[in-house]
């Protein structure tokens, strides 16, 4: 991160320092005009705090995260509770307005994703998103509004149909994406306020920057509503939305598109991840979203200077992503199941953009779907040992932004006293901290991400000692500082 015009602050704080490379002991960190001026080792005990470079979320969806604040939150609700919440909300919806609900868990989805059942809840057009955002359930009014009955089959997607061949209301992958773009969104004013709230939420979590994956509509929203608080952002646009004449670069002051995202498969929860062998619980090998023209598209995007980013959750998708990247390097997102034979193809050219916090919710699903292959799942340590650059993200709004929970899942592979999940894939603390801070900062060209003299004073002050599992469990973000300015909390 670079210092900016607001960086007139001078101050200091003390704690255990992770400087972006290593744990450097207890220090007093001082800055003048937003730039670190001194790092003084301390012999005397200081408050049990840890200073780390500001967290950078390597994969989220900023406008979708903001919009999720305006939708009906159905997180963690059972099927009956979901339907009851929708029925109660129906009375607050005005004539002609849509109802929108998100975060329907995989366990509730099988029950509530039924057009006839949703018709009993409301006569308003209703759209429900699964927790992983790769499935949408529509009621009859919503199907009619979107004209789904007249859609042709969507390559890389699926339109669910009933026994008579009519749309059942469930849309998967590319079909769900198409519907999502057609469903009316919130007002301009509501989105502007939600974006401000979202940035404040990120600052509370110690996050000072992010890579955001956006549709054209999302890009337009960001261009119309510049972020008022200091927050560094790099944008990836979906490759299907990039025209042949487009080039990476600034789309608004301080807002740059640097990359292109290409989907190769779906998700674990929806059982649409592309696998080499069938899912253990439901059979089938998911949905392959690799298209005949993908290789030519990759070559064109690379030639124009885009950073390539492949969505690959299943092992077949990961193998295809490695082949498409070839010798040029780039990013692979998620990487939840990997064939050990493909790990031998990984080297330092790969940026492995992974989300350890997905394990919080995915653990039971992985145990069912990949019961015979758990050793091959969420292979953070294997990727690091092969030389890949690890960068951590949240995938918000799929998962809430919480870098401290991400660290716990990466290092401890558990949150509480349950048995660690595939503990042989746990990471050393310093590696995990770098993946949450300096790693994404550098790969996104946001600076060094290091805390050293002459660098911007951009950091998170953590209440707690991150060196021990007990300290990681209790840790909280006390303050977030960007170029010397406290944007959340107090140094105290």
* 282-328 pLDDT tens trace: 999 999 999 999 999 999 999 999 999 999 999 999 999 999 999 99
> Per-residue pLDDT tens for 198-218?
999 999 999 999 999 999 999
pLDDT band at 459 (very low <50, low <70, confident <90, very high): very high
> Per-residue pLDDT tens for 149-169?
999 988 889 999 988 888 999
Domains along the chain?
A: 1-54+449-492 (2.30.40.10), 56-63+188-448 (3.20.20.140), 71-182 (3.10.310.70)
Closest CA to 214 of 61, 407, 3: 61
Give the DSSP per-residue string, 423-446.
GGG---HHHHHHHHTHHHHHHTTS
> Per-residue pLDDT tens for 227-283?
666 899 999 999 999 999 999 999 988 899 999 999 999 999 999 999 999 999 999
Task: Say yes or no to pLDDT of 346 above 50.
Answer: yes
Strand runs labelled E in 174-304:
207-214, 232-238, 249-252, 255-263
pLDDT at 8: 54
Report the greatest alpha carbon distance in the chain: 76
pLDDT band at 76 (very low <50, low <70, confident <90, very high): confident
* Axis-axis angle for helices 294-303, 315-325 (nearest 10): 50
Which pTM does this prediction carry? 0.90
Question: Residue 387: left if φ>0, alpha if ψ -120 to 50, beta else—which one?
Answer: left
CA 47 to chain CA centroid, nearest Å: 32
Task: Say yes or no to pLDDT of 3 above 50.
Answer: no
What does the DSSP 8-state code read for residue 149? G
pLDDT band at 1 (very low <50, low <70, confident <90, very high): very low
Contacts by 347-351 with C-beta closer than 8 Å and gap 24+? Answer: 347/386, 347/387, 347/388, 348/387, 348/388, 348/389, 349/325, 350/322, 350/325, 350/383, 350/387, 350/388, 350/389, 351/388, 351/389, 351/391, 351/443
> Per-residue pLDDT tens for 381-432?
999 999 999 999 999 999 999 999 999 999 999 988 999 999 999 999 999 9
> Per-residue pLDDT tens for 361-386?
899 999 999 999 999 999 999 999 99
Q: Do 456 and 447 contact (CB within 8 A), yes or no?
A: yes
Which tokens is 380 given? 């953070």
pLDDT at 131: 85
Q: Do 214 and 62 contact (CB within 8 A), yes or no?
A: yes
């Amino acid at each position: 991160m670079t210092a900016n015009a607001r960086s007139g602050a001078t101050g200091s704080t003390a704690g255990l320092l992770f400087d972006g490379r290593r744990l450097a002991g207890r220090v007093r960190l001082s800055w003048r005009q937003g730039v670190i001026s001194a790092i003084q080792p301390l012999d005397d005990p200081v408050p049990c705090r840890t200073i780390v470079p500001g967290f950078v979320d390597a994969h989220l969806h900023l406008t979708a995260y903001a919009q999720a604040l305006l939708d009906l939150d159905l997180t963690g609700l059972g099927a009956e509770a979901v339907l009851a919440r929708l029925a109660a909300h129906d009375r607050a919806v005005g004539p002609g307005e849509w109802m929108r609900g998100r975060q329907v868990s995989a366990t509730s989805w099988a029950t509530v994703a039924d057009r006839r059942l949703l018709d009993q809840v409301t006569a308003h057009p209703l759209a429900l998103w699964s927790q992983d955002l790769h499935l949408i359930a529509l009621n009859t009014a919503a199907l009619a509004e979107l004209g789904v009955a007249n859609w042709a089959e969507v390559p890389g997607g699926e339109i669910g149909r009933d026994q008579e061949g009519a749309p059942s209301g469930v849309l998967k992958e590319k079909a769900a994406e198409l519907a999502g773009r057609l469903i009316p969104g919130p007002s301009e004013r509501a989105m502007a306020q939600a974006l401000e709230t979202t940035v404040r939420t990120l600052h509370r979590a110690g996050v000072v920057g992010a890579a955001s994956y956006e549709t054209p509509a999302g890009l337009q929203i960001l261009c119309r509503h510049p972020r008022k608080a200091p927050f560094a952002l790099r944008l990836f646009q979906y490759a299907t939305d990039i025209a042949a004449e487009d080039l990476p670069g600034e789309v608004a002051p301080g807002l740059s598109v640097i990359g292109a995202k290409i989907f190769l498969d779906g998700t674990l929860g929806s059982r649409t991840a592309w696998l080499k062998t069938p899912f253990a619980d439901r059979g089938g090998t998911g949905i392959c979203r690799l298209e005949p023209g993908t290789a030519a598209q990759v070559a064109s995007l690379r030639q124009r200077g885009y950073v390539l980013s492949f969505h690959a959750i299943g092992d077949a998708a990961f193998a295809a992503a490695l082949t498409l990247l070839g010798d040029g390097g780039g990013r692979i997102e998620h990487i939840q199941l990997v064939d050990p034979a493909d790990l031998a193809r990984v080297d330092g050219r790969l940026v492995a953009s992974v989300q350890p916090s997905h394990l919080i919710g995915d653990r039971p699903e992985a145990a069912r779907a990949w019961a015979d292959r758990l050793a091959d799942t969420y292979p953070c340590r294997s990727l690091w040992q092969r030389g890949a650059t690890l960068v951590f993200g949240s995938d918000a709004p799929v998962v809430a932004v919480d870098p401290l929970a991400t660290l716990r899942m990466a290092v401890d592979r558990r949150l509480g006293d349950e048995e660690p999940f595939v503990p042989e894939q746990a990471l050393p603390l310093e590696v995990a901290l770098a993946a949450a801070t300096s790693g994404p900062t550098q790969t996104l060209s946001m600076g060094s991400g290091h805390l050293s003299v002459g660098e911007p004073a951009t950091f998170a002050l953590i209440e707690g000692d991150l060196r021990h599992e007990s300290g990681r469990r209790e840790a909280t973000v006390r303050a977030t500082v960007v170029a010397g300015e406290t944007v959340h909390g107090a140094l105290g």
